Structure 1
Amino acid sequence: MLGCVIHDAGDLRVAELPVPVPGPREALVAVRYGGICGSDLHYWRHGGVGDFRLREPMVLGHEVVGTVVSYGAGATGPAPGTAVAVHPATPCGRCPECADGRTGVCRDTRYLGSAARFPHVQGGFAARVAVPAEQLRELPDGLGLRRAALAEPLAVAVHAVRRAGDVTGRHVLVTGAGPIGCLVVAAAKAAGAARVTVTDLLPEALRYAAVAGADTLVRADDPDDAGWPDEADAAVEASGGAAGLDTCLRHVRRGGVVVQLGMLPPGRSPFAGNLLVSREIELRGSFRFGAEFDDALHLLAARGEFDGLISRVVPVREAAAAFELAADRNRSCKVLLEF
């Protein structure tokens, strides 16, 4: 079978891989679509994500959907042939965070296509993937595989919005209109936000934010743009840049909440810390998700605007071109590989 394997920065290979055999309590899934994530692009461009560095070849991909093929010993789940999404995380279930219900920050989790631990957890960008059967989620009625491929990044966005607190009737600022930022827009609107303002440097990215439901679009490099909010109630930093965090801190109201969702560069990042003090702003991190994966699937089934965020579907044999496209925010939002 074909799979996408990253060996080092800039060294992505479409290779013939052995078809896995599901082990005890595992399911074998025929992957149909895999979404190229920002973290996949970081592994491809830089050989790592934040502080997680490649130490061995790794199959990329954690945004995967497909159909059930078979089960290993002791495993049960949706019948073979059923369309499913794969929850990419396997929390340990034993650490203090898991005991507290915060499985998204489990200290010993296994996450598809992640170099956070060694040996790395191989990902789902392959024609067949064996995963714990408990990670399968049958798609809700009316949800097709193509749109369901957005479930993982949408779950990230839903979790980030919840980290901001109750946004019902509130004004939310989002910095960064990449795929995650656009999904934060949709998640905030679905959670009842009255107004969502989005900033980005690129007009094409802002166009996708409008598709997601943004009310106000702001060019981040134009301080005179009339759309800049005086005081948003909450802000989600989705660009992964220190400048975006600075923007959030300066445009959220006194006593407001800023959620850092974008993965910042490795090492220390400067930020306007005095504003946290003088304005009593709450700065919260947001990392992955837990049960929000199931909520994301139902949200995708209920709303059709998400289709407009999928820029292109590319055959796996053309993965190199797909990664180039996904990395060019002037030409794309979410790019899917088809297996």
Structure 2
Amino acid sequence: MLTRVCRLHGCNDLRIEEIPVSPPGPGEVLVAIGAGGICGSDLHYYQDGGFGPVRVQEPIILGHEAAGTVIATGPDASGLAQGDVVAINPSRPCGNCPYCAQGLFNHCLEMRFNGSALRMPHEQGLFRDRVVVGAGQCVRAAPGILVAEAACSEPLAVCIHAAGRAGDLAGLKVLVTGSGPIGVLCAAMAALRGAAEVVVTDLEDAPLAVARQMGATRTVNVAREPGALAPYAADKGYFDVCFECTAAAPAIRSAIESLRPLGTLVQVGVTGDVVIPLNMLVAKEIAITGTHRFQPEFAEAVALINSRAIDVRPMISQSFPLERAEEAFSAAGDRTRAVKVHLTFG
């Protein structure tokens, strides 16, 4: 059997190709992918050939946000049956390294992650019509949940982990800088966890409109209103927590300015080295914490989508069939009109 794949051969060199797909083996299932979300890392691979030290060195099938329908099961693939709609967890820690032994699976030394160019050979991704995965990677979607909703489980898991790094958010004032997919989902998590206020910033109106649908109590276009955050910096700051989702130096500075003493900056966005106002960080005793991927949170993300406690539908801006992949990537890179763009598969 052959399956179509979306494979990147180099910067702006995206090809739809066919490769063989084998029947599922022991503990495996064959999934017909229905929807796959284009992530920021996919865009960086496509537009720039990578990000930071992570570079595409060989052809790679992109995609790590995906869901589909089980069409065949191998021996011992317990808990799943033909016809089940499942979200696919792209994270496959080894289970044996020192970090896995401590339960820190997201820091696994031998992590395999679908669609990642970090390792050589690269870990191939999920943008394909059919894929064989481990049954343990699959979490069932509830009846009535769209496959496109289930495909948002991976970015939501990232934001659940980020919310956990922030601690108890009940009654707190929260700032989210950047309203891309991760920003709007962080806003949704803050609202779900009982934040009293959730203020979201961005440079574009379209993603801010989505943020308002997903839990923001106020949105600020900092390109059009560059001084709008200044009142929040008065008297040493206002917010208790900031989820910084841009990794842009001006946004990091405004976050530190707007956080009150003893506030927490959760750095979600990633980039290379940036300049930060260290004196202000120290003087206000702000805690800065990183957040990296997820592991147990993936099942929680699916459960939140299944119950629609987090309704991800507003963030799904457009969907394109696989044969229009280049158009989909172009749309995903246009923040004036898109938050999350999906590829769909036949």
**Unmatched segments (≥5 aa) in structure 2:** none
User: After superposition, where does 1:155-304 map in structure 2 within 5 Å?
Assistant: 155-221=157-223, 222-225=225-228, 229-230=232-233, 231-265=238-272, 268-303=273-308
Question: 1:328 corresponds to which residue?
Answer: 334
Secondary structure of the 1:325 match is: helix
- Return the match for 1:150 from 140, 152, 156: 152
* 1:122–1:82 Cα change, 3 Å: same
- What letter matches 1:67 in structure 2? T
Deviation at 1:146, TM superposition (A): 2.0
Select which of 292, 312, 316 maps to 1:306.
Answer: 312
- TM superposition shift of 1:72: 3.5
Tell me the distance in 2 between the aligned counterparts of 1:117 and 1:166.
Answer: 35
Q: 2:120 matched to which residue of 1?
A: 118
**How many percent of aligned residue pairs carry the same amino acid?**
43
Which residue among 47, 64, 67 is the counterpart of 1:65?
Answer: 67
CA deviation after TM superposition for structure 1 residue 142, in Å: 4.0
What is the SS of the residue equivalent to 2:232?
coil
Letter in 2 for 1:259: V
Q: Which secondary structure does the structure 1 equivalent of 2:6 belong to?
A: strand
Is 1:217–1:227's contact at 8 Å kept on the other side of the alignment? no
Q: How many residues align?
A: 337
Which residues of structure 1 form unaligned runs of 5+? none
Distance 1:118 1:25 in 2: 25
C-alpha offsets along residues 184-243 of structure 1, whole Å, 9 cap, x if unaligned? 111111111111011111111211111212111112233322685341000011113222
1 CA distance for matches of 2:337 and 2:229? 26
Query: Cα 1:98–1:325, aligned 2, differ >3 Å: closer, same or farther?
Result: same
Greater than 4 Å deviation, 4+ residue runs: none
Cα distance in 2 for residues equivalent to 1:226 and 1:288: 29
In structure 1, what residue type is equivalent to 2:91? A
For the residue of structure 2 that corresponds to 1:40, the secondary structure is: helix
Partner residue of 1:13?
A: 15
Conservation of the 8 A alpha-carbon contact between 1:24 and 1:74: yes
Give the secondary structure class of the aligned counterpart of 2:243: strand
1:299–1:228 Cα change, 3 Å: farther
* TM-score (norm. length: structure 1): 0.95
1:46 matched to which residue of 2? 48
Query: Which residue number corresponds to residue 104 of structure 1?
Result: 106
Contact 1:242 1:264 (8 Å CA) reproduced: no
3-state SS of the aligned residue for 2:68?
strand
In structure 2, how many angstroms separate the alpha carbons of the residues matched to 1:11 and 1:61? Answer: 15
Distance 2:142 2:53 in 1: 36
Q: C-alpha deviations, 1:125-170, integer Å up to 9, x for none?
A: 0001111221111113442312111111111111111111111111
Contact 1:77 1:134 in 2 (8 A): no
